[in-house]
Chains A and B, each alone.
Chain A
Amino acid sequence: MVNTFKKISLFSLFSLLISCGGFKDDEMRLSSWVSSPQETDLFEATLQEFRNLNPDIPFDFEPIPGNYSEKLQLMLGTNTAPDVFFLKGMISPSYMSFGILRDLSEDIATDPSFDSEDFYPALLEAFQKDGGQYGIPKDFSPYVLFYNKEMFREAGIDSLPSNWQELEAAATALTKDLDGDGETDQFGLVIEPVLEMIMPFVYQNGGYFQNPDGSLGITDEPFIEAVEFYHGLYRKGIATIPTDVGQGWNGDTFGRGKAAMALSGGWLLPFLKENYPDMDWGVAELPAGKQKATIAFTTAYAMPKAPNYPEDAWKLVSYLGGKEGMKKWTSQGLALPSRRSVAEENGFYEDPVFGVMMRSIEYARPFQIQFSERGFEEAVVGVQSMFFTDKSPRQSMLDIASRIEKYKLKK
């Protein structure tokens, strides 16, 4: 009896100890987040292609199903990060400032088949710091204007809005009280109380979140004007926000026909196809302000500073981010290629939907700020305060400016 206890306790102690011990991977690892089953299948197929071409490079694909950035952060901090991982363009400035990513410029220089001139410059820039290249953009998606063709026909609008005045006029014409109960059932536009969606208007108006000289631009006139225009659409009752009509995000509001227009990116396409297959919608470039502008969301393949298998990892990145791998990955249009040649080969420029997005990338900018995540969070609070309290856009921006200033990233 006693012996058994001894054995049990020894055994549990032992298993506790070995599970604590460090481990060395015998294979290269690759991690991604998980968005949709279609994307996972397509990515697996792309990886299979790499396996066929390089049977001598074994690797493990370990998708992270939830809380991606928290888990990645923990792995990077404990030197257990995968050799290749996905990195969002929006958080790349802080990762680059922490000095935890591998500079890939040497790998690029020594790889003759990897033509980096082919990438859209704005997307490469999202992962550059002090002459280093810390990620290879795998794909992108810009904000474009989705519109409901049927509602446009009913309202007798035959041309798409090309500037702010026309956007406001169209939104006014499309805002309707269908059942006559005095409440609007169809809004011209659905917007979200988030900074990313305001930024295209700011850029169109010549403003910046952060000026080129590094100072905070949110209290400058061009910024405030753009915020006032955006917020004004909501206050005038011609735009709605998803929570006001009981939905989680603007794609759902647009799909359910609660709004005739929405700002969104490529991620809305499979959603509409799947959930609202009968809907007649189109996409257009964003209406311009003083200039054409939109923002592009991009993701990169990146490596930790000291990967276990640097050569193999680069081969994988070079394939996935190269012409062949990217062609396969973007073939179904779930994501848009960050290489011009791939976009041309896929015929995306001629496509009525993808063509709009490909034209947008010419003037799109990545939205990045040299402030820590806490600074970004303060900005989020500022935007919320003008939508959910009576604070004016100008006052909201003035109030948060000093709070954001504190969280500038150190050079």
Chain B
Amino acid sequence: MSKTIKSKRWQQMKTAYTFIGIPVILFTVFTFIPIIFAFVISFFDWNLLIPEKTFIGLGNYFEVFQDEVFLIAVKNTALYTVIVVPIQTILSLFLAFLMNQKLPGRTFFRTAFYIPAITSSVVTSIIFVWIYSKPGLLNYLLSMVGIDGTDWLTNPSTALFAIMALTIWSTSGYFMITFLAGLQNIPKSVYEAAAIDGASTWTQFWKITVPMVRPVTFFVVVLGLIGCFQVFDQIYVMSGGGPVNATTTMSYFVYNNSFKFFRLGYGAAAAIVLAAIIFVATWLQKKYFPSNPYQ
């Protein structure tokens, strides 16, 4: 009797490990090994095209922190994150709250807000290049209210903000869905009790919705942070890091140095610094803004 249970258990385990095994192998080959490899080559003067790879210890790290463009990239990335994450989180929560009400046509609005999230970022970027151009839609709309707009993407003081606006527009819908799922988990009875006590919709939002979706907020902020720190495709398509490095972000810097300037080791060092920053930011967030403060 016990033998059959044991063998059955063994059978199940084999099945389970087979299922886990395939993705683990894939992850190992395409993620873990490259990560370790990147870490290793960051200590080398590793030019893909030159056979001699010299070990230079922390040389790349010393250089990267003295590189003016890298420091600009860190500043741009930080600014980008600090502005985009709060706005996209608040906006998507607000949208989700609205979409959770019994409004006429809410299916239409839910779809409309979600469409940017499922559209390819390259496509939206190209469309926004036209919108932001000097004779583009944005300046046309501004001219109706008597404002003479600039060329948003070649003006160093507006280019980064223009790209931030695009990101906020395209990710808010995506995170709205996440928040919607969180909102549906809040028991109706809590709202009913609050309504009986005479709480307004606004009070309900602040006193019930916001605290109750806190785990979802945590998730959204973490994903938002990581996404912002890694922003690349919009920059690549819309501005190429320019003008005058105004939109050079850390991942764009990594890309440029690794694949355009042939310096893989240097690029890897910058990537490790980026990874460290993301790690610290997430850890700080987990420490000071835990997902469930009542635990």
User: A residues touching B (Cβ–Cβ < 8 Å)?
Assistant: 2, 5-6, 8-9, 12-13, 16, 20, 69-70, 73-74, 76-78, 94-95, 98-100, 243-246, 372-374, 377, 380-381, 384-385, 387-389, 403
Q: Choose the segment among B75-83, B99-107, B258-266 that binds chain A (4+ C-beta atoms closer than 8 Å).
A: B258-266
Can you show 11 pairs from A to B with CB atoms below 8 A apart? A2-B11, A12-B25, A16-B29, A73-B49, A95-B49, A98-B262, A99-B50, A243-B133, A243-B153, A381-B245, A385-B243
User: Which residue of B25, B29, B244, B262 contacts A384 across the interface (Cβ within 8 Å)?
Assistant: B244
Of all chain A residues, the one with the shortest Cβ separation from B157 is A389
Chain B positions within 8 Å of A389 at CB level: 156, 244
Chain A positions within 8 Å of B18 at CB level: 5-6, 8-9
Q: How large is the interface on B (under 10, 10 to 19, 20 to 34, 35 or more residues)?
A: 35 or more
- CB pair B153–A76 under 8 Å, yes or no, is no
Task: Identify 5 new A-B residue pairs, CB closer than 8 A, beyond the known A388-B156, A389-B156.
Answer: A2-B11, A2-B14, A6-B18, A384-B242, A388-B154
Beta-carbon contacts under 8 Å, B90-140 to A = 130, 133-136
- CB pair A77–B48 under 8 Å, yes or no, is yes
Of all chain B residues, the one with the shortest Cβ separation from A305 is B51
Chain A positions within 8 Å of B193 at CB level: none
Given contacts A377-B256, A388-B154, contact A73 B244 (CB under 8 A): no
CA distance A9 to B17 in the complex (A): 10
- CB pair A73–B262 under 8 Å, yes or no, is yes
Beta-carbon contacts under 8 Å, B147-194 to A = 151, 153-156
CA distance A390 to B279 in the complex (A): 39
CA distance A76 to B48 in the complex (A): 8
Top 9 nearest A-B pairs (CB, nearest first) are: A77-B48, A246-B135, A388-B243, A246-B133, A98-B49, A374-B261, A384-B243, A385-B244, A373-B261
Q: Give the dominant DSSP class at A's interface.
A: helix
- Check if B197 is an interface residue, CB within 8 A of chain A: no
- CB pair B244–A381 under 8 Å, yes or no, is yes
Interface centre among B22, B136, B153 (most CB of A within 10 A): B22
- CB pair A373–B262 under 8 Å, yes or no, is yes
- Check if B21 is an interface residue, CB within 8 A of chain A: yes
User: B residues touching A (Cβ–Cβ < 8 Å)?
Assistant: 11, 14-15, 18, 21-22, 25-26, 29, 47-50, 68, 130, 133-136, 151, 153-156, 242-245, 256-257, 259-263
Quote the shortest CB–CB distance from A17 to chain B (angstroms). 10
CA distance A385 to B133 in the complex (A): 19
Chain A positions within 8 Å of B259 at CB level: 70, 73
User: Which residue of A6, A16, A73, A95 contacts B25 across the interface (Cβ within 8 Å)?
Assistant: A16
Quote the shortest CB–CB distance from B30 to chain A (angstroms). 10
Quote the shortest CB–CB distance from A289 to chain B (angstroms). 28
CA distance A404 to B14 in the complex (A): 60
Chain B positions within 8 Å of A374 at CB level: 257, 261, 263
- CB pair A246–B136 under 8 Å, yes or no, is yes
Chain A positions within 8 Å of B68 at CB level: 403
Of all chain A residues, the one with the shortest Cβ separation from B255 is A70
Chain A positions within 8 Å of B50 at CB level: 98-100
- CB pair B154–A77 under 8 Å, yes or no, is no
Chain B positions within 8 Å of A246 at CB level: 130, 133-136
Of all chain B residues, the one with the shortest Cβ separation from A74 is B48
CA distance A372 to B257 in the complex (A): 11
- CB pair B135–A245 under 8 Å, yes or no, is yes
Chain B positions within 8 Å of A245 at CB level: 134-135
